[in-house]
Amino acid sequence: HDVLWLDSSFSHLLCDVGRWEEAKYESGVKWKFLEHKGPCFPPEFESLPDNVRFYYNGKVVKLSLASEEVALFFGQMLDHEYTTKAVFRENFFKDWRKEMSSEERLLIQDLNKCDFSELHAMHKAKVEARKNMSKEEKLANQQTVEEYGFCLLDHHRERIGNFKIEPPGLFRGRGEHPKQGMLKKRIQPEHVIINCSSESKIPAPPPGHRWKEIRHDNTVTWLASWTENIQGSIKYIMLNANSKLKGEKDWEKYEVARRLKTCVDSIRRQYTQDFKSKQMGTRQRAVALYFIDKLALRAGNEKEEGETADTVGCCSLRVEHITVHPNLDASDFVVEFDFLGKDSIRYYNKVPVEKKVFKNVILFMENKNPSDELFDRLNTAVLNKHLSSLMDGLTAKVFRTFNASITLQEQLKKLSNKSDNPSEKLLSYNRANRAVAILCNHQRAPPKTFDQSMANLQAKTWQPTAGWNRWKRPDLSLSRLVERKKKAVERCEEQVLKMEVQATDREENKQIALGTSKLNYLDPRISVAWCKNMDVPLDKIYNKSQRDKFAWAIDMTEADFVF
């Protein structure tokens, strides 16, 4: 099982499915040889200059090093609205006081009496200064990447995804996070586990330090790890998306989704049957699966209360997240969903469902409080256990991948024509991508400058610039002049069309994020094949890093690829 890489692209080998499968099943080995420099640590905190003062109750207080650092974290964030939030302030103050000396703790009892404005100003000035002197810094950054950003994996140089230890700061979290404002502590080498080959050069810890542990576990892909103090979860340093290890995994993911395509009809027939099962658990499983399949909901693992923001997925939906409408806007049997999903992004949708689903939802809600679980006989473990019995490797998230990719393929077929002009083709692609993003509920905050930039684009539509300033050319004959002007008009029309298409695209995209689905849900081979069929250059669809990530697909895909 020596690794035979012909070059940095592994796609030729990926085509040879059986070989890789065989190698993997034999032992669970992920690599034979792994060597790296260890993680890069953020600079240590140095005490503030004397002219940057902290005031308590109007009086200057010289803080100890530890509490000064934490005070600076707060001062840096003063522009953000969340420093005004009660939960944030309370958590911050509690953790800050833990870092204070006993005298400081005695003195500083009220956050409202703290004045961080000079710390804030210093931070702003630093940001400004960094902008101006970026040249040397850029060089230094490049050197850091050179030194820490790569590892040797099975004798090939691979890019590391995140080679820096996360710097300390105040935890923000998303949505109404109960732990917002808590102190995220500085990670020392003594907290870090290094994973590498035993026969490799062991990375040297920073001077005066030692690692927590050196491990040689070739069944995992991480190079270093540490435990984070907010949730107590493990953080990892792993490879970049363009690495062989990640690419292979990505390819596998889409192959599983393609297998679902071959059996999804029978799975749908079965869960439709199960709508009328005598077992309540089976009915709940069937309805949940229907939602996951139809609406691309996430599985919805249980979460520990009070540890994270209150968000749900399918299995963890509560009665309060659902409203049933026997009749709504000329549709029968409408279920209205309104809940916060991953990252506290709101999911709001009114969906006409099958009558049996509707009746079941009403049944599941009977005699329950709003805060009770809708699917009280179901969780993700039960659901996934069932799914894996239907198809090898099938889990709830595979439905999201499958439905996203199949939707892209269908929409591309429906929307695009070979005879379209390039910008129309691109609009079609983006619309197909958008259909998926809407399905998966990938939202974004509308860009701050959105209205302005729309207005700019509209204005431009009225003053195309293709050569109108060239009226005076006395040396030309009249017929040549007419010809030229005709051409100019044509160019203008083309430009206008292009801008109108662009404006449409942007308007439709106001609150939709296309990136997440493009990166994580859409089989890149669909896009590569479409580009080949439509004579669209691939770089219109994928930027450099996306092309790197999808190198495997770009290499192996022909125009006739079907998901």
Partner DNA sequence: AATAGGACTTAGCAAGATCAAG
Partner DNA sequence: CTTGATCTTGCTAAGTCCTATT
Per CB under 7 A, which of residues 308..337 are in contact with DNA? Answer: 308-309, 311, 313
Residues 457-486 that bind DNA (CB under 7 A): 457
Nearer to DNA, 59 or 130 (CB): 130
Residues 119-138 that bind DNA (CB under 7 A): 127, 130-131, 134, 138
- 542 catalytic? Reply is no
Give the one residue of 277, 344, 423, 461 binding DNA; rule: CB under 7 A.
344
Bridge-based pairing of strands 331-340 and 322-328 is antiparallel
Residues 6+ apart with CB under 8 A from 246: 239, 240, 549
Using DSSP, state whether 222 is helix, strand or coil.
Answer: coil
Nearer to DNA, 134 or 504 (CB): 134
Bridge partners, residue 115, by sequence: 55
CB of 226 to DNA, least distance (A): 10
> How many residues line the site for DNA (CB under 7 A)?
87
Nearer to DNA, 30 or 318 (CB): 30
- Stretch of 84-92, 261-269, 278-286, 296-304 lying at the interface with DNA (CB under 7 A): 296-304
Distance CA 57, CA 75 (A): 16
153 binds DNA (CB under 7 A): no
CB of 314 to DNA, least distance (A): 7
Give the one residue of 521, 550, 552, 561 binding DNA; rule: CB under 7 A.
521
CB of 318 to DNA, least distance (A): 14
- Stretch of 3-11, 91-99, 168-176, 326-334 lying at the interface with DNA (CB under 7 A): 168-176
Q: What is the dihedral of CA 393, 398, 402, 408, to 10 degrees?
A: -140
Structure-token pair, residue 70: 């934490």
Nearer to DNA, 64 or 458 (CB): 458
Distance CA 306, CA 321 (A): 19
Nearer to DNA, 240 or 416 (CB): 240
109 binds DNA (CB under 7 A): no
443 binds DNA (CB under 7 A): yes
Distances (CA, A) of 205 to 38, 141, 290, 397: 8, 20, 52, 39
Give the one residue of 8, 301, 458, 504 binding DNA; rule: CB under 7 A.
301
Q: What is the DSSP letter of 61?
A: E
Residues 45-104 that bind DNA (CB under 7 A): none
Nearer to DNA, 105 or 215 (CB): 215
From the list 254, 271, 429, 521, the catalytic residue is 521
497 binds DNA (CB under 7 A): no
422 binds DNA (CB under 7 A): no
Give the one residue of 11, 91, 403, 517 binding DNA; rule: CB under 7 A.
517
Distance CA 470, CA 152 (A): 60
Nearer to DNA, 222 or 530 (CB): 222
Residues 230-289 that bind DNA (CB under 7 A): 230-234, 236, 238, 246, 249-250, 253
Residues 6+ apart with CB under 8 A from 324: 334, 335, 336, 358, 361, 362, 365
Give the one residue of 327, 449, 469, 477 binding DNA; rule: CB under 7 A.
449
345 binds DNA (CB under 7 A): yes
CB of 150 to DNA, least distance (A): 12
Bridge-based pairing of strands 183-184 and 169-170 is antiparallel
- Give the closest residue to 417 by CA, choosing from 558, 523, 536, 562: 536
Is residue 120 within 8 Å of residue 75, measured between CB atoms?
Answer: yes
Residues 360-399 that bind DNA (CB under 7 A): 379-381, 384, 388, 393, 395-398
Give the one residue of 206, 281, 422, 447 binding DNA; rule: CB under 7 A.
447
Distance CA 244, CA 228 (A): 28
Is residue 187 within 8 Å of residue 167, measured between CB atoms?
Answer: no
Angle at 351 between CA 349 and CA 354, to 5 degrees: 155
Side-by-side strand order, sheet with 213-215: 213-215, 193-195, 224-227, 234-237
Burial bucket for residue 74 (CB in 10 Å: 0-12, 13-18, 19+)? buried
Please give the positions annotated as active site: 521
